[in-house]
Structure 1
Amino acid sequence: MNKAFAADLRKLIIVPATLLAIGISTRTAFAQNKLYSPIPLTTGSTELSDTLSDKDIPTGQGGFARDYAVKLNKGDNLAVDLSSDNFDSIITLLAPDGSTIAENDDGPDGTSNSLLFTRINETGTYIIRVRSFGETGVGAFKLKVTKLQPIK
């Protein structure tokens, strides 16, 4: 086989493989973007009833999580109350950069419900993550998110 022909053949094989890899990674990125879509919450006070299911985000610890996006401003005081009769709940507040701001497993009332209070230090879109503890399951829950107002 002639050397020039062999070099051209290698180029023909490498280019389609590279294009295939780019196509697959692009399709994967679009698919992942469609899979992860936090539920938007309005600012102020929001109370909702929802259901955690095995179709939500796997936590890697046997349970599942559901995310809610909320826009918060620097200086906001936030209260998040999560209750469920179906699973042991954990509430996590994630900063715009994905770091954990606050988390609560069991509230002060001695139940497996969750309650957290925090002050926001940076304006941005935060994630409120509702999840079950370990493999405690799925089911209905109530979430209440309140921006607390100072007493005047």
Structure 2
Amino acid sequence: MIIKACATRLSRIVLPLTLLAVGTSFVPSAIAQQTTSLYNPIPLPSSNQVSDTLSERDIPTGDGGFARDYLVRFNQGDNIAIDLVSDQFDTIVALMSPEGATLAENDDGPDGTTNSLLFTRITQTGNYIVRVRSFGETGGGAFTLRVTRLRPI
């Protein structure tokens, strides 16, 4: 009789705790789903040029710097030039595939400055990310990004 009374009391405690544990185990995944929707690359304007500012409110790179992403649609066979200029920080520009892989990246352009210039050919039609970031911990500041589709003469 004592064992049965203890088992009954224990089940009254264990069952609610189990339900509480099961009910709260879904909260982190719900929060994770909400936070993944926070990533929204900025559509590149139809002029294919933007003057903007890189700041500590942008995407942390893990190297002490920050990144800002722009969404642009390219077609298979497009030859493109991506030009990133800033007087306020050491720039790096990267082109990322529709799947998120880095396809090409440039740190310092051929002009001997810390500006970036990237030439590449698109092999697959889709939405790509042009990532503007600072080198290491060089901070941020104003920049101009220009994407040009090159045409044969």
**TM-score, structure 2 normalization:** 0.88
CA distance in 1, matches of 2:95, 2:40: 16
Q: Percent identity?
A: 55
- Say which one has the larger Rg: 2
The amino acid across from 2:129 in the alignment is I
1:112 aligned partner: 114
Q: In structure 1, the residue corresponding to 2:113 is in which secondary structure?
A: coil
Alignment partner of 1:140 out of 138, 142, 147:
142
Aligned to 1:70: 72
Letter of the 2:78 partner, please give it.
D
RMSD (CA atoms): 1.8
User: In 2, Cα distance between the equivalents of 1:138 and 1:11?
Assistant: 54
Offset of 1:73 from its aligned partner?
A: 1.5
Match of 2:102 in 1: 100
Which of 125, 128, 132 is 2:127 aligned to? 125
> Deviation at 1:122?
1.2
Which stretches in structure 2 are left out of the alignment for 5+ residues?
none
2:24 equivalent in structure 1: 20
Q: Runs of 5+ in structure 1 lacking a partner?
A: none
Aligned length: 149
| Maintained 8 Å contact 2:44/2:50 | no
User: Residue 41 of structure 2 aligns with which residue?
Assistant: 38
Which of the residues 90, 93, 113 maps onto 1:91? 93
Please give the alpha-carbon distance, in whole angstroms, between the structure 1 residues aligned to 2:35 and 2:99.
22
Higher alpha-carbon deviation: 140-149 or 17-26: 17-26
1:78 deviates by 1.3
**TM-score (structure 1 length as normaliser):** 0.88
